[in-house]
Structure 1
Amino acid sequence: MQYGIVLPISGIGGSVDRLIEYAQAAEEAGWDGIFLEDYLVYWRDEGVTYDPWLTLAALAMRTKRIRLGITVTALPSRLPWQVAREAITLDHLSHGRVILGFGLGDPQDMHFGEVEKAKERAEMLDEGLEILNGLMSGQPFHYEGKHYQVKEVTFVPKPVQQPRIPIWIGGMWPRKAPMRRAARWDGFVPAKLPDENGYTEFQPSELREIKKMLEQEHKGPFDLVTGGTTPGDDRAKARELMEPMREAGVTWWCEFVLPEPGQEEEALTRIKQGAPR
């Protein structure tokens, strides 16, 4: 199992310089990945928001080993060919360390006339993923879809990672459509539909069920991604929490490091304490 940290792309995490500091500390502490949220206008802290793609480019230039990704980008709110060019460029800047994450998007982050109907956004997501995949091939590609059209074009250079940059799909569990979509790609980042207690973390039994369902649809290596918080000052307890996750088939644990304003030093301390290995 690999271990990443999830950082906010907003003012609650401090400045972009602070995010770079977090990334460098994470690499030095032995974490395996850094994953940014993606909002055009963050829903908290008066909307202070940074662009995740430009921020990841900065992180790529200031780190050497750690994987870099976004969990997750609302692909229907962006132009898939522009995302493809940005992702390929980032893969070269980082020498092949990028992981892409895509989903329908957060209804709270729609301010610019985006399509809001879930069915249409799902169609746009699926078409956008096909376009991304085709453009990353480095071969002549054209596409005729309901929402997008691409005249024949060749994107070069190809990504450093082949046959493509890994693509993870985010979606709400226990809805089946996101799992079917994820099974066509390289990984699944599930979130639980809220219950009477609000949003809650996954139980190992739920993750085993997700893993089983995905294995019925996907053959070969596949990432199952979940996350939460673990005690950085109690390694034994943290490892105890991780063992059921590993047994359930989780391949990436993403530690949520989402500091409130004024808690940046506490967040840095948690990162320096390292992964719950």
Structure 2
Amino acid sequence: MATPQDRTVAAQRGLFIPPFDAFADPAKVADLAVAAERAGWDGVFVWDHVRYSSPVTAIADPWICCAAIAARTERVRFGPMVTPLPRRRPHVVARQAASLDLLGGGRLVLGFGIGDDLLGEMSRFGDEPEPKVRADMLDEGLDVLTGLLSGRLVEHLGRHYRAEDVRFLPAPQRPIPIWVAGRYGNRAPLRRAARYDGAFVIGYPGPEGIEQVREAVAADRGGIEGYDVVVDVPPDTDPAPWSAAGATWVLTRFGPYDLDEEAVRAAVEAGP
């Protein structure tokens, strides 16, 4: 069972922004982050896709968007949410993450998952189409990534990746939180998430699902104190029941289709 904790503290509130169409420009995403910081939001997180279904036509790179956020804000947490690590090289991501964390003064959060191929986002580019193989790649990739981010000497020869006798410096100012994504009802992503700093589960039936996730994670890690349970909800959703159920972050999700720049900005400026 999940270890009881004080749930009187409200969840932190963040924005969950697809850098699509009206926001397929890192400068506009950064403008939105500046407005969010002024309005009292706690975080700004950016989707990571290389293609999406119609009617989305334009997409910006989330890591460039995060760099723009890091350079123009001072307080909000930020990060790619979530990056399919199996389609990237863990050592390249480690270099990017360490640099981005330094640029942002230690505010970066990393979100990772296996991604999906429903739109051919993997197979159309020659990336691994099989989910079980991507899951194996994610586990191994996270081992390589966290080893390199530690600043320690890494010696890794695995099925998918290698890092032979290397040490990456500069290391992040402090350990970068890692949130692992999964769909509600799938146990394997929660086992993976329990090894890191947070679980970003999508597809909840409602706030009542939070306790099941908390209990599953707590059973695997021996407790849940200091652990992030992250949810995303539409803009018209009351975050209070999710917070009361034990979510530590409630992200307001915009899009992905027909993003109206003025409407999104008005919602952001209204505050969490």
2:115 aligned with 1:105: yes
Note if 1:40 corresponds to 2:50: yes
Change (3 A) 1:151 1:248: same
Q: Return closer, same or farther for 1:149/1:262 CA change in 2, 3 Å cut-off.
A: closer
Q: Is 2:14–2:250's contact at 8 Å kept on the other side of the alignment?
A: yes
SS at match of 2:252: strand
Amino acid in structure 1 at the alignment position of 2:185: P
Q: How far apart are residue 15 of structure 1 and its match?
A: 3.0
Asked whether the 8 Å contact 2:27–2:65 carries over to 1, the reply is no
**Separation (CA, whole Å) in 2 of partners of 1:259 and 1:181:** 27
Residue 144 of structure 1: how far off its partner (Å): 1.5
Pair 1:58 & 2:68 matched: yes
Is residue 2:93 matched to residue 1:83? Answer: yes
**Residue 4 (structure 2) aligns with:** none
TM-score (normalizing by structure 2): 0.90
1:125 matches 2:138? yes
The aligned counterpart of 1:92 is: 102
In structure 2, list runs of 5 or more residues that go unmatched: 1-10
Q: 2:242 aligns with which of 227, 245, 248?
A: 245
Q: 2:229 aligns with which of 224, 248, 254?
A: 224
State the percentage of identical aligned residues.
Answer: 38
Contact 2:243 2:250 in 1 (8 A): no
> 2:183 — aligned with what?
172
Which sits farther off after the overlay, 41-50 or 116-125?
Answer: 41-50
Report the AA paired with residue 192 of structure 2.
R
Matched residue, 1:191: 202
Which residue of the partner structure matches residue 21 of structure 1?
Answer: 31
CA contact (8 A) 1:211 1:248 kept: no
Answer with 215-224 or 115-124: which moved more: 215-224
In structure 1, stretches of 5+ residues that fail to align are 193-200, 232-237
Residue 136 in structure 1 maps to residue 141 in structure 2 = no
Specify the alignment match of 1:157 in structure 2.
170
Deviation at 1:135, TM superposition (A): 0.2
CA distance in 2, matches of 1:59, 1:217: 34
After superposition, the Cα gap between the structure-2 partners of 1:228 and 1:2, relative to the gap in structure 1 and judged at 3 Å, is same
Instruction: Report the equivalent of 1:273.
Output: 270
The structure-2 alpha-carbon separation of the partners of 1:260 and 1:174, relative to structure 1 and needing over 3 Å to count, comes to closer
Deviations 1:80-134 (A, max 9, x none): 1000100000000000000000000121222211111111101100000000110
- 1:213 equivalent in alignment to 2:210: no
Q: Pick from 228, 248, 252: which aligns with 1:255?
A: 252
What number of residue pairs does the alignment pair up?
257
Distance in 2 between residues matched to 1:178 and 1:8, nearest whole Å: 23
TM-score by length of 1: 0.88
Deviation at 1:45, TM superposition (A): 3.8
